[in-house]
Amino acid sequence: SDSDASAEPTAGQLRTPIVAVLGHVDHGKTTLLDTIRGSAVTEGEAGAITQHIGSTAVPLDVISDIAGKLVDPDDFDLPGLLFIDTPGHHSFSTLRSRGGALADIAIVVVDVTDGFQPQTIEALDILRRTQTPFVVAANKVDTLPGWNPDGTEPIQTAIDRQSDRVESDLNERLYEIIGELSDEGFSADMYWRVQNFQNNIGVVPLSAMTGEGVPDLLTVLMGLSQRFLKAEMSIDVGGPGAGTVLEVTEERGFGTTLDAIVYDGTVREDDRIVVGGVNEPIVTEVRALLKPKPLSEIRTEKEFDTVETVAAADGVKIAAPDLDDAMAGAPIRVVRDRDVEDVIEEVQAELAEIEVGTDEE
Ligand code: GDP
């Protein structure tokens, strides 16, 4: 669009934190991501959120619309949250940035009735190892017998509407989850009681299905990011871009493309890039940077808009020649004014590390 050239960012800007969703199978990871996307579409201006490229950007003003009185946008200077759309700890472990996890922050989804399960504990092990801050979403509160649902609203409003019996049932189950977290070595409490999120894990009761508590989750994620990630989010957004391949996909009219997350710097049309490949790093040139059209416009025209520039952190589809051997999880680097051999070496070193990391799983 027209505004892209003028939106070229300057050094020292704050980027969007990248959020991953983990947890046991069937505990509601996919539903939660769908609900966040869905409420963002409902609440947001057309085009405010993007999807279909492996990640969903939810800008601060949309979060603030969803969260209502829980979030005052003036309290935050981070631009929003970027959710990785593929949930699960496998994608969390294989998606990296410079040796660390690609995600800056995580949500561990736990079915409030089912409690801790093997993959819940695996998720916590991974987050501990990677020292990733996280919150626990105690999901499916609407399945508690007698729960009276109402829709996307703060959890305290929802709880106030329940009978005493339902409320004490909920509390009992939440304390069970808090106890299980403690067994795993994490000190935790209901999120509204947590004073210091650096030492304590916040538990957010919610329903990914009906939407109760989702405003609270977004609020806690923004608060956590603002307080503890701000230093890491301060990056040279104008520098040569660095990113990670989420998926390698065929796109009609563009051939093989990369669904990617850019987590540092800027990628521009015509930039020379190095991408991790099956046999060796691929050196190629960006032909087009594609963003999905706003949902309302899809089907009326072509599916993508081209943009001149993508700045961290954001999802983008990269069209370029010679991408057939590119790999999911592989690094992407813009060469810009560096020596291409140095950049190839950087990509190779990172690929070696990823292979080691995958073997450990
Ligand atoms: P995943 O495997 O963790 O991605 O779990 P899904 O999101 O696929 O959810 C598994 C099942 O639980 C699906 O049938 C969902 O509809 C259901 N589910 C997820 N969240 C909720 C919730 O908050 N309330 C209810 N009642 N069902 C839910």
Omega of the bond prior to 313 within 30 degrees of 0, cis?
A: yes
Helix 214-228 × helix 60-67 angle, to 10°: 140
Q: Are 136 and 203 in contact (CB under 8 A)?
A: yes
pLDDT at 360: 42
ipTM of the modeled complex: 0.99
Choice between 110 and 227, residue whose per-residue pLDDT is larger: 110
Q: Is the pLDDT of residue 75 over 90?
A: no
CB atoms within 10 A of CB 251: 16
For residue 338, the SS3 value is: coil
Q: What is the CA radius of gyration of the chain?
A: 21
pLDDT tens figures, 259-287: 999 999 999 999 999 999 999 999 999 99
Kindly give the distance from the C-alpha atom of residue 27 to the centroid of ligand 1, in angstroms, as a whole number: 6
pLDDT tens figures, 191-246: 999 988 888 999 999 999 999 999 999 999 999 998 888 888 988 878 999 999 99
Among candidate residues 11, 15, 32, 156, the one with its CA nearest the CA of residue 106: 32
Q: Which residues does a 6 A CB cutoff place in the pocket of ligand 1?
A: 23, 25-31, 87, 139-140, 142-143, 207-209
User: Ligand 1 atom 2: the closest Cα is on which residue?
Assistant: 26
Cite the DSSP H helix spans in 27-184: 29-43, 60-67, 89-94, 118-130, 155-160, 164-183
pLDDT at 2: 40
pTM, to two decimals? 0.91
The C-alpha atoms of residue 20 and residue 196 are separated, in whole angstroms, by 22
Closest atom of ligand 1 to CA, residue 109: 3
Closest atom of ligand 1 to CA, residue 206: 23
